[in-house]
Amino acid sequence: MNDTRDLFPGKSGKPRHPETERAIFFSMSERRNTLVDDCIEQIDQAVRTLFGKPIGSGRDNPAQVIEDAELTATEKAESMCLMRVNHTGEVCAQALYQGQALTARRKDVREQMEQAASEENDHLAWCRQRIEELGGHTSLLNPLWYSGSFTIGAITGLLGDKWSLGFLAETEDQVVKHLDGHLQRLPGGDNKSQTIVQQMKADEAKHKATALHSGGAELPEPVKRLMTLLSRVMTITAYRL
């Protein structure tokens, strides 16, 4: 059999050394994504987030070992609505992270955003599963919230990594407070939903601490108030739709 290296001769017509061939292979495989590549990846991520099964970090649902309690129809409806709000919040977080990762300048910041997005995908899957167990559906407005959050994330990324990280930290701070409120509102017997929300809260607090440690800047008060207002609009609509 002919040596396969004959298929890739050097300028002299002689076969290249195996190390040279490997270097060429890895150089080709590690090329930077083009704009088209990035667009395809973002579309794929959006479809997975909104309609499919997102790729998470591989963690198990913390509620799978919790025995499902008997809930009244009113309690079940309340839990379903609150978990739908939480799911929509995770859709927004996923879009925000993807937008920021797309425009982040530092490689370590992009990697941080991608890792956080992976953990947010866990939350997405857990919330969706719990909503289905309760007999409900995810918000009909999720595509709208995803597109808006992705745009905001991309814009903050363009402003610079310190502002992008600062926006992330403030977002997570507001999410932790929001989840605290849901832990108070969830029916006392709904241990499954409470377990999921507790784990989500711990992850969000970690994301906030990581963003601040990486150089996130404090956002101006008017920006914080605007974020709070948009969050309220989202929670009210997702609770009903």
Instruction: Judge if 161 and 62 occupy the same domain.
Output: yes
Low-confidence ranges of the chain (pLDDT < 70): 1-33, 35, 38
Could you give the angle at the alpha carbon of 115 between the alpha carbons of 114 and 120, nearest 5°?
A: 95
Measure Cα distances from 191 to 26, 63, 169, 182 in Å. 50, 8, 28, 13
**Residue 95 confidence (pLDDT):** 87
pTM comes to 0.79
22: left (phi over 0), alpha (psi -120 to 50) or beta: alpha
**Residue 29 confidence (pLDDT):** 42
Instruction: Judge if 2 and 70 occupy the same domain.
Output: no
| Euclidean distance between CA atoms 182 and 81, whole angstroms | 11
Instruction: Judge if 25 and 42 occupy the same domain.
Output: no
| Euclidean distance between CA atoms 154 and 134, whole angstroms | 35
Residue 124's domain comprises: 35-240
| Euclidean distance between CA atoms 108 and 110, whole angstroms | 5
**Residue 21 confidence (pLDDT):** 45
| Euclidean distance between CA atoms 107 and 115, whole angstroms | 12
Instruction: Judge if 2 and 65 occupy the same domain.
Output: no
Measure Cα distances from 231 to 23, 179, 188 in Å. 49, 12, 25
**Residue 105 confidence (pLDDT):** 73
Instruction: Judge if 19 and 56 occupy the same domain.
Output: no
